[in-house]
């Protein structure tokens, strides 16, 4: 079985409505490894992960944004 990898430039995850739309699409695409680029978030905590993932036990790591650009989240 090959893992399904999703890489997406989300252009910011600051708004809850955008996170809910991203969550809906990620659920539809059913990826095993997800890389979200350009999150534009300096800090990502468990609440943000819960708003993006339907899986309660998802592992994640991130690189914070530098000013108003950048930021990577891998789940």
Q: Annotated binding residues, as ranges? A: 9, 38
From the annotation, which residues make up the binding site for Mg(2+)? 9, 38
- CA-nearest of 50, 39, 34, 43 to 10 is 39
For 56, other C-beta atoms within 10 Å of its C-beta total 7
């Amino acid at each position: 079985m090959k893992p399904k990898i999703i890489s997406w430039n989300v252009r910011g995850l600051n708004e809850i409505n955008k996170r809910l739309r991203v969550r809906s699409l990620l659920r539809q695409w059913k990826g095993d490894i997800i890389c979200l680029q350009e999150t534009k978030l300096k800090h990502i905590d468990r609440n943000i992960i819960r708003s993006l993932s339907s899986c309660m036990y998802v592992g994640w790591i991130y690189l914070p944004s530098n000013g108003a650009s950048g930021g990577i989240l891998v789940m």
